[in-house]
Amino acid sequence: MSNLDRMSSFGHFTVGFALASSLALSLVAGKNDGRLDLWWCDSDGGGSTLIVTPAGESILIDSGNPGGRDSARILKVLTQTAGLNHLDHLVVTHLHIDHFGGAAEIAAQVPVKNLWDNGLTDADPDGNRNSTWPLTSKAYRTMPVGQRHRVEPGLSLPLTAGKTPLSMRCVITRQKPAEGVFSDRKATGTAPVLKAPDTSDNANSSAWVLSFGNFRFFDGGDLTWNAETQLIWPQIRVPEVDLYQVTHHGLDVSNHPRLLTALNPTVTVMNNGSTKGTAGEVLTTLRGLPRLEAQYQLHRNLRPDGVTNNIPNDFIANIEAGTAHPIHCAVLPDGSAYSITLPAAPITRTYTTRRH
């Protein structure tokens, strides 16, 4: 199927072909184009989501693994694609190496003005004794940043908004949900099913809702199953969203179906690796969502269970092992529509923002 066929096959959306083309024209975040841009910088099963606001402010949610590979990929998107020479906000959802590991390498290359995390601890955040935590976290604990901040539930990042309202708010962190940030509503039905308790720092992940006009994006880091239920029981404390970053790389210790039903996304992006994430239970949950129009993955699942646990190749950024193409989302200046591009192909599809 040609790109043109792919594009025209999306004619049923209210956003027409011309708009889809103009959104696809440039992968470079123009300084004054008014768009909101998001990139999933591939860290092969790590977290590394870069957001650039219309005012040119940058937010990186998680920083991939240490070792130079992931930080180089993130810096390439930040400096070459987005054309920025610093990072305004680095948000580290929790203290696991695939989320904080690249931070010190990034801070060594570009100024990082603000770091937002759950606070540093001398002890292993997973509670392991005799762990390598003091060694593995040393670069992160000592890296130069403008200001370090402790995330609290309900916190809003200080962002510059233009004509279109813009916010990024923390809906839960350290297993404490934010109350009254969005219009809380009482949950109905029976209490959500729980799984075995998770004593790792995944459960402490901060989760965030980015709002731009009517557009909503949810990034939950690696928040795990039982902690997720705090967002939906007994009060539902999250809004419906347009775009959902599949939590925890698509693992089934996360992605509670009741939370996903409450979030009710139109599009999902999974920051999986070629052998990490893409759990069958999660894919089943995603496929059952009533408003879902598209699922994306950073990688084709190359494990044996990839025969069933995958999505069509033209929704996947990296089909073979060894490539590291990002996924790009551009939101129109008024937030009314957004396009998702797989730059390697390139394939762009456009979706209409819902009125939540």
Select from 209, 281, 205 the least CA-distant residue to 245: 209
Which CB, 54 or 221, lies closer to Zn ion? 221
Which CB, 82 or 253, lies closer to Zn ion? 253
Which CB, 42 or 57, lies closer to Zn ion? 42
Which CB, 45 or 335, lies closer to Zn ion? 45
The distance of closest approach from Cβ of residue 16 to Zn ion in the complex, given in angstroms and rounded to an integer, is 38
239-268 burial, b at 16+ Cβ within 10 Å, e below that, comes to bbbbbbbbbbbbbbbbbbbbbbebbbbbbb
The distance of closest approach from Cβ of residue 99 to Zn ion in the complex, given in angstroms and rounded to an integer, is 6
The distance of closest approach from Cβ of residue 172 to Zn ion in the complex, given in angstroms and rounded to an integer, is 16
- Looking at residue 71, what DSSP letter applies? H
Question: Interface residues with Zn ion (CB under 5 A)?
Answer: 98, 222
Using CA of residue 83, residue 85, residue 86, residue 88, what is the dihedral sign? negative
Task: Classify the phi-psi angles of 126: left when phi > 0, otherwise alpha if psi is within -120 to 50, otherwise beta.
Answer: alpha
Distance in angstroms (rounded) separating the CA atoms of residues 114 and 230: 28
Which CB, 181 or 270, lies closer to Zn ion? 270
Distance in angstroms (rounded) separating the CA atoms of residues 238 and 70: 31
Q: Which two tokens stand for residue 304?
A: 């044996």
Which CB, 127 or 162, lies closer to Zn ion? 127
The distance of closest approach from Cβ of residue 71 to Zn ion in the complex, given in angstroms and rounded to an integer, is 16
The distance of closest approach from Cβ of residue 159 to Zn ion in the complex, given in angstroms and rounded to an integer, is 25
Select from 205, 209, 157 the least CA-distant residue to 356: 209
Distance in angstroms (rounded) separating the CA atoms of residues 283 and 289: 10
The distance of closest approach from Cβ of residue 132 to Zn ion in the complex, given in angstroms and rounded to an integer, is 17
